[in-house]
Structure 1
Amino acid sequence: MTTPELLGFQITHRAMRGETRRLAVLATELAEGRQTADVARAAAVGAYVTRLCAGIHHHHVSEDEVLWPVIERSAGAEVDLRDLSDDHSELDPLLAEVVGQAATFASTVSTGDASRLAALLTRLADMLDEHIEEEERLLFPIIMKYVSVADWEKVEKAVRKGGDIRTELPRIEEYARPEELVRLRRMAGPVLTVLLSLLRGGHRRRRRMIYGPLADG
């Protein structure tokens, strides 16, 4: 390989955007009475939202602390990261609001708290859509042109470190297209297949609790 492999980042971005939007829709339907939640389901939703927000926070902190210095060192004047860094600064207080409201909904199971959670998740989904589209448009060509494979592998290792493998790895499988999954398995080797087989069942049970019996459909 002579250029960085960006597939892992692409799928991670797609999964973060997709799950945030899906949770926003779910919270809206709970608020409007089109779906219902008992205490167990509300707790599962709250815990999953919290884990998702932790993953988003870890991802952008890894970009700030590891990826940005690599890009600045490799590309120099070719890139200006200030707007993307400002986006990250705006994300943190919103993530904290989402987590707090998810905990409130989990404890009250009220339609009012579901409505407030839906509004916050929709704001977060909109922000992620705009930010990630801009980040990939601006930075992916720069990374491909200037960043070495060795430096990129250090970035990916930093992003993986501290992540929640129980939810993030099966979620990558869910959001990867079939041909992308073939590439991932080829890059990671047999260990990926083993890990997915161990984690898939628990992931699907959690998703059925959160999204309902058709979550795997």
Structure 2
Amino acid sequence: MSATTPNLLGFRLGHRTMRGDTRRLAETTRAIAEGRQSCDARRAAAIRDYVVKLCAGIHHHHKTEDDVLWPVIVRSAGAEVDLSDLTDDHSALDPLLNEITSAAGDPAALAKPLARLADLLDEHIEEEERLLFPVILRHVSAGDWEQVEKAAQKGGDIRFDLPRIERYVQPSEMAELRKLAGPVLMLLLALLRPGHRRRERLVFGAP
């Protein structure tokens, strides 16, 4: 990939992490709702906080696409792409995210809406990457893509977002991230990893 071609790794990892964590939360809360896992007040509070942050991140991501990425694609690719179905998906996300956030204090009540969200994200993201990533690589300049990525990073929660990608990143992708971000990335991961792992054990029962 040349320096003039957008690097889509960050968006791919963001998509993969959103999908993976939403599916894991749906399965975890289903197990709680069905009585297969226990959930005391401490775990319920940890699940609530995780769910609220996850929903905020998903909302920020698709709002960035609506407000920043879509105009860049229209300006760069013109009539080559139709964004209407993807925009409709984003419109369907907001009420579902609000429903989940409102129910975040009751893990058992989260199981069904989280499962719907996981299914919607799977379908939407697969379609988005299939349709838009080739268009972005053909038509969007590296400079415009950098502005999209800056908008995506602005307003995000790095303490929550960054350590989550380690579960989903491939070794070759992590090597690429090291080259792109330098030693700062590894330092931040080292600092944030212990707290994130404690949070994961509490939320998911992960070892």
* Equivalent residue number for residue 125 of structure 1: 118
Following superposition, the deviation at residue 167 of structure 1 comes to 1.2
Following superposition, the deviation at residue 182 of structure 1 comes to 0.5
* Equivalent residue number for residue 18 of structure 2: 16
* Equivalent residue number for residue 108 of structure 1: none
CA distance in 2, matches of 1:169, 1:179: 17
CA distance in 2, matches of 1:119, 1:68: 31
Task: From 32, 35, 39, give the equivalent of 2:34.
Answer: 32
Read off the aligned partner of 1:34 and give its amino acid letter: R
Read off the aligned partner of 2:30 and give its amino acid letter: T
Task: From 140, 145, 151, give the equivalent of 2:138.
Answer: 145
Read off the aligned partner of 1:130 and give its amino acid letter: E
1:189 equivalenced with 2:182 (yes/no): yes
Q: Deviations over 1:116-161 (max 9, x none)?
A: 3100000000000000000000000000000000000100010011
For residues 1-217 of structure 1, the aligned pairs below 5 Å read 1-103=3-105, 105=106, 114=108, 116-214=109-207
CA distance in 1, matches of 2:68, 2:4: 21
SS in 2 for 1:35: coil
CA distance in 2, matches of 1:26, 1:144: 37
Read off the aligned partner of 1:79 and give its amino acid letter: V
Following superposition, the deviation at residue 173 of structure 1 comes to 2.2
The aligned length equals 205
Following superposition, the deviation at residue 213 of structure 1 comes to 4.5
CA distance in 1, matches of 2:80, 2:206: 49
SS in 2 for 1:5: coil
Q: Deviations over 1:51-103 (max 9, x none)?
A: 00000000000000000000000000111111101110110000000111112
Following superposition, the deviation at residue 7 of structure 1 comes to 0.6
CA distance in 2, matches of 1:26, 1:129: 18
TM-score normalised over the length of structure 2: 0.97
Following superposition, the deviation at residue 175 of structure 1 comes to 1.2
CA distance in 2, matches of 1:64, 1:161: 15
What's the Cα RMSD here? 0.9
SS in 1 for 2:156: coil
Overall identity of the aligned pairs, in %: 65
**Structure 2: which 5+ residue stretches go unaligned?**
none
**Structure 1: which 5+ residue stretches go unaligned?**
106-112
